[in-house]
């Protein structure tokens, strides 16, 4: 038994923890959980927990349904939320790696998908660090008279005014996150009524994906305790900005930031430029992963600082990739910010395809185009074409068509995840297309 496993078992006994939740995600990024008693955990470390993989979206077929969840003791944390029955029984959680009965990692496990890309980066000499800015909305518990959700407050960007319906929310949320070892760098009210942003301090890509899954769970729990609802839906309101998950990425070679060059105009190394070029080149084909829902494209097509074309710029918030210029003389902080992902993306798959695209740019020496200096969201399609900018997909249909042709995404996700993802998303798109909306009835019924 490893030291980490021994630490977990000792902590369970010393803290009198009654339940341990074993977490993993399906291919779409939904959190799954099985609770075990502490007495069963030693066996779970040795043999894993068997479950029916065919009952989890995209995991396995009925004829090969036996699947094993193996707890990762390095992810052990005590949950900061008391029992739902009002008791104070402590509950802990660990993320799991999913394996097949023969012990081989499951190709359907999103953690394994990301881990493969991190291993490719390591083979090239890089460690990948990620720092996301996670946006979401707080909603009143009761919908409005029209049946639509209502923001929990009327605040705007950086407003000091606390949320009307949940004045303690951000303080409670940050306290809970920090208690789990999830470091928060900033938090503030975003531009739209009810919209919040919490920025997580950088961590390696796999730890950050785990942190984001924990973040979503904790945020929803704290919102409930404060009498409101939290949603990570990309664009719940037609007239307000959508919720993004702007993702800052840097590659390090040991202690050296591989993205920093003090002699470059933008303080970007050749490695950083090729990484950006890789993301720009492959942006349309990875969009179905970074923006996986029908609703995701309501945010993307609205402008409002959401990228519409594969461009980059220094400090340009309308570009797909922004190079922050706050601390240009601090080598450790040189990074690139990818602005396409939304807060409802599967973080494991999203970071896997972003890494795959950027690393391909590095391996093949992609050349970076000149930076965009205009507000791309205000340009017409013809103007973007004249500038040589590649448009991003404007709906899930176009995104899936681009993904279907992509060798890069197929290689990054693996055949199993790639095929299931496409089948699942085509089903979602066809179901959406079949809807007759109130807008259509209002405009076409009397024709």
What confidence score (pLDDT) does residue 86 get?
Answer: 47
What residues contact residue 74 under an 8 Å CB cut-off, 6+ apart?
4
Was 337 annotated as part of a binding site? Answer: yes
DSSP classification of residue 152 = S
**Contact (CB, 8 A) for 320 and 372:** no
To the question of whether residue 248 is assigned a binding role by annotation, the answer is yes
Q: CB count, 10 Å around CB of 122?
A: 11
Tokens read off for 247: 């993702």
- Please check if 46 is assigned to a binding site: no
Q: How many residues does the chain have?
A: 447
Task: Please check if 131 is assigned to a binding site.
Answer: no
| 305 labelled ligand-binding | yes
440 labeled binding residue? no
Helix extents (H) in 48-109: none
pLDDT at 77: 95
CA distance 19 to 144: 39
Is there a binding annotation on residue 148?
no
Q: Would you list the DSSP string of 160-193?
A: -SPPSS-TTHHHHHHHHHHHTT--EEEEEE-SST
At 55 the pLDDT is: 62
Question: What is the residue-averaged pLDDT of the chain?
Answer: 90
Q: Which domains does the chain have, with CATH numbers?
A: 3-107 (3.10.20.70), 116-439 (3.30.590.10)
In DSSP terms, 257 is beta-bridged to 252
| Token output for 410 | 């197929």
Q: What is the pLDDT of residue 375?
A: 82
Check whether 185 is labelled as a binding-site residue: yes
This prediction's pTM: 0.94
- 400 vs 186, 262, 286, 395, 409, CA distance in Å? 35, 40, 9, 9, 11
249 annotated among ligand-binding-site residues: yes
pLDDT value of residue 64: 42
The pLDDT profile of the chain, 447 residues, written as one tens digit per residue, is 799 999 999 999 999 998 999 999 999 999 998 889 999 999 999 988 887 766 666 554 433 456 889 999 999 999 997 544 445 578 999 999 999 888 888 888 999 999 999 999 999 999 999 999 999 999 999 888 888 899 998 887 767 656 677 788 989 999 999 999 999 999 888 889 999 999 999 999 999 999 999 999 999 999 999 999 999 999 999 999 999 999 999 999 999 999 999 999 899 999 999 999 999 999 999 999 999 999 999 998 876 678 999 999 987 888 999 998 777 778 888 999 999 999 999 999 999 999 999 999 999 999 999 998 888 877 888 888 888 888 999 999 999 999 999 999 999 999 999 999 999 999 999 999 999 999 999 999 999
Nearest residue to 205 via CA among 238, 173, 250: 250
Whole-angstrom distance, CA of residue 361 vs CA of residue 356: 9
Q: Is 104 labelled as part of a ligand binding site?
A: no
Q: What was the pLDDT predicted at 383? A: 85
Q: How far apart are CA 68 and CA 306, in angstroms?
A: 40
- The answer to whether the annotation marks 299 as part of a ligand binding site is yes
Contacts for 418 with CB less than 8 Å, ≥ 6 apart: 409, 410
Burial of residue 14 (CB within 10 Å: 0-12, 13-18, 19+) is exposed
């Amino acid at each position: 038994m490893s030291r980490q496993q021994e630490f977990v078992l000792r902590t369970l006994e010393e803290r009198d923890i009654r339940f341990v939740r074993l977490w993993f995600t399906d291919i779409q990024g939904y959190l799954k959980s099985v609770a075990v008693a502490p007495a069963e955990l030693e066996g779970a470390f040795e043999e894993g927990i068997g479950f029916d993989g065919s009952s989890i979206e995209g995991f396995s077929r009925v004829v090969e349904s036996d699947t094993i969840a193996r707890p990762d003791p390095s992810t052990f944390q005590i949950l900061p939320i008391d029992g739902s029955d009002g008791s104070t029984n402590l509950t802990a959680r660990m993320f799991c790696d999913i394996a097949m009965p023969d012990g081989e990692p499951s190709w359907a496990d999103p953690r394994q998908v990301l881990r493969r890309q991190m291993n490719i980066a390591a083979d090239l000499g890089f460690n990948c660090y990620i720092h996301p800015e996670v946006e979401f909305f707080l909603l009143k518990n009761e919908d409005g008279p029209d049946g639509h959700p209502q923001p929990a407050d009327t605040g705007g960007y950086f407003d000091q005014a606390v949320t009307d319906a949940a004045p303690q929310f951000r303080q409670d949320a940050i306290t809970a996150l920090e208690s789990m070892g999830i470091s928060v760098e900033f938090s503030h009210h975003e531009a739209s009524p009810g919209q919040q942003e919490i920025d997580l301090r950088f961590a390696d890509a796999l730890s950050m994906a785990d942190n984001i899954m924990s973040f979503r769970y904790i945020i929803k729990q704290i919102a409930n305790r404060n009498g409101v609802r939290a949603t990570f839906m990309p664009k719940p309101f037609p007239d307000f900005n959508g919720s993004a998950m702007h993702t800052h990425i840097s590659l390090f070679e040991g202690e050296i930031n591989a993205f920093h060059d003090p002699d470059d105009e933008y303080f970007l190394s050749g490695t950083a430029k090729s990484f950006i070029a890789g993301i720009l080149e492959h942006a349309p084909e990875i969009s179905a992963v970074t923006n996986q829902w029908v609703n995701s494209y309501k945010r993307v097509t609205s402008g409002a600082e959401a990228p519409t074309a594969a461009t980059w710029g220094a400090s340009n918030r309308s570009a797909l990739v922004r190079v922050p210029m706050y601390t240009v003389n601090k080598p450790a902080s040189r990074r690139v910010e990818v602005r396409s992902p939304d807060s409802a993306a599967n973080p494991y798959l999203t970071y896997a395809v972003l890494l795959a695209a950027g690393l391909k740019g590095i391996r093949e020496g992609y050349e970076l185009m000149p930076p965009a200096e205009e507000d791309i969201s205000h340009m017409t399609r013809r103007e973007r074409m004249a500038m040589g900018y590649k448009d991003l997909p404007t709906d899930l249909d176009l995104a899936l068509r681009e993904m279907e042709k992509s060798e890069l995404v197929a290689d990054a996700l693996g055949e199993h995840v790639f095929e299931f993802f496409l089948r699942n998303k085509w089903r979602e798109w066809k179901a959406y297309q079949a809807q007759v909306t109130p807008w259509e009835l209002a405009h076409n019924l009397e024709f």
